[in-house]
Structure 1
């Protein structure tokens, strides 16, 4: 075995999951190689992050640079399609003040920061190197890698971490990938530029607008990623998308843009936001929006982030799930390599699968507004006093879920989501969640979450 082609661990993919797991493992004394097919920085969707990313950023040592570089995110605002009703869920209602202020990021810059941090910690990073094949047997693992000139080399390792994102390299090769029922979605998105951030986005909250009717099962995201730039995307059911574009293909050579603008203009509130901006860039279309691998790990490999599972990202959970799952799995890999034990790895995936299940059930609730309409300001009653107090605890939990608290407490949140259909069952879960500390304030609508424009947009650095 050639020493220059050997490392203890090989990580496939340099996105948030790959860089996180690589950094944590190299800190444990392992030699780690990371192969990334692209040259960073590169564009990517998924710009809105959850507050529960905060401890991971602290652990990785990147929190201070994120504070200086990116727009802050104080909450999530859900809006009905007609724009007549909306609810802003402020994270500072349920979690500590500092952690409550999350981030909106440009993913090209954010992912570069994480990958550079991996390099600084000692990970050997190879950009523009595509993994074309993996092989696992009792004697060890091999990874075949092609560089940008298509020249190939075979690397040897004890353990492979697949963080290849939606390429799902190992799941596809092992034929373990399957769709998630009734979650097949298509997303079309692009950045917009403006002289000033539209009024509706000045609070800094991610803005999620329902798309109703015609079997859309959809939503629109608006994310202010700088004082002069907004990410805006449309997500709909794939069958609706195919039907909607059928005639447009015949009518226009730029049918994707026509479809995208039609969907945005179907919402009055979005039309008002569009009037203050113009498109700046090329449309990005992403399909295959919900899937999972039926085998996420083995004795010599593990899948993390989107390579293991991906679900409709209504609640901006993608980056957090990727980084949290990578952190949990890294601890399991350490035990597996050092002690040949799998208990921590098994526990990690039990937690991860529970987290996915919670998000999946929350998504299903979103698509059934007759049960729970996140944009309904009357959820708390017309009088946000005595009537509201009856629902204070339950909506504290909704705030916590939207902030990202769905991993370690997944076994509690799953029955809680069921209990939303029957308010009388809620008392059973109060002690389990430890939520007394979360209900000292009212959790009702707060348009600016108590933050100034300057605090959100960090004007000293974001010009």
Structure 2
């Protein structure tokens, strides 16, 4: 339970470790006043932390002053738990009598909450193909479902990878970014990862790399 004026309970708070940009925290408010808090980090970052999970989580938080301030009066009412190796994909998205949707098809990473978008998009795409198939049309699940779905998933993947290798964070925290670029990138994170009119969708890795290099050079 959290009582903290700086914490906007209408929003999910994502915090980043001040020394290790690949370590991040989520703070997800619940309506009854409680909050889900957690940390995501590679196994290497846990080596110097306490074995006790509650102490481990608080050690990470204590190293992040802004988040520590938000949680300074928190009442910790649930034991910490851990899960590893959460990212997963499969060999095929469809087969005889089945099509995989949402996280069953691929789970990327929780940082941008892309799971809901992928679930809704995959369901919509599969429903359209299935409806035509049930009407007696000849359909190709690979070209009409799997390949288009993967295109958007790969767009999300480019920004997830950029988050952890630092290229995307350099863009997010660049103080002089233009409104147009902010809108285009925000659109992707809002779920428009299949809109190839957006250049950051049509060429996500190349565009993100170029933009990161520009930000690193101070915009020149």
Shorter-chain TM band: 0.7 to 0.9
**How many equivalent residue pairs?**
210
Task: Return closer, same or farther for 1:238/1:305 CA change in 2, 3 Å cut-off.
Answer: farther
Question: How many angstroms apart in 2 are the aligned matches of 1:294 and 1:213?
Answer: 37
Contact 1:354 1:411 in 2 (8 A): no
Residue matched to 1:205: 11
1:228 matched residue in structure 2: 33
**For residues 375 and 271 of structure 1, do their structure 2 counterparts lie closer, same or farther at Cα, with a shift above 3 Å needed?**
farther
Shift of 1:357: 0.5
Alignment partner, residue 68 of structure 2: 271
Which of 198, 204, 210 is 1:422 aligned to?
A: 210
Is 1:217 paired with 2:22?
yes
Question: 2:82 maps to which residue?
Answer: 285
Q: How far 1:312 sits from its partner (Å)?
A: 1.3
Q: TM-score, normalised by structure 2?
A: 0.81
- 1:282, distance to aligned residue in structure 2 (A): 3.3
| C-alpha contact (below 8 Å) 2:155/2:204 kept by paired residues | no
In the other structure, the counterpart of 1:401 is 188
> Where in structure 2 are the equivalents of 1:35-50 lying within 5 Å?
none
Tell me the SS of whatever aligns to 1:276.
coil
Contact 2:61-2:67 within 8 A present in 1 as well:
yes
Quote the offset at 1:371 in angstroms. 5.8
| 2:86 and 2:109 in contact (8 A); partners too | yes
Distance 1:239 1:332, change over 3 A: farther
Residues 375 and 208 (structure 1), Cα distance of their counterparts in 2 relative to 1, 3 Å cut: farther
Contact 1:296–1:302, Cα closer than 8 Å, also in 2: yes
Structure 2: unaligned runs, 5 residues or longer: 212-220
Higher relative contact order (CA 8 A, sep 6+): 1
Q: CA deviation at 1:298?
A: 1.3
Tell me what 1:25 maps to: none
Deviations 1:226-281 (A, max 9, x none): 2612221111113434x345xx33xxxxx111111111221001101111321222
Query: If each structure's helix is expressed as a fraction of its own residues, which one has the higher value?
Result: 2
Residues 265 and 359 from structure 1, CA distance in 2 versus in 1: closer, same or farther, beyond 3 angstroms? same
Distance 1:286 1:414 in 2: 33
Structure number having the greater strand percentage = 1
Q: Does 1:352 align with 2:155?
A: no
Q: Distance in 1 between matches of 2:103 and 2:44?
A: 23
Deviation at 1:335, TM superposition (A): 2.6
Q: Is the 8 A contact 1:355 1:410 kept in 2?
A: no
CA apart distance, 1:344: 5.9
Distance (Å, rounded) in 2 between the aligned partners of 1:225 and 1:300: 39
What do you get for the CA RMSD once the two structures are aligned? 2.7
Structure 1 residues 278 and 310 mapped into 2: Cα distance closer, same or farther (>3 Å)?
A: same
Tell me, yes or no, if the aligned pair for 1:304 and 1:326 is still in contact at 8 Å: yes
Q: Is the 8 A contact 2:13 2:26 kept in 1?
A: yes
Using the alignment, how far apart are the partners of 2:162 and 2:208 within structure 1? 9
* CA 1:225–1:371: 2 relative to 1, 3 Å: closer
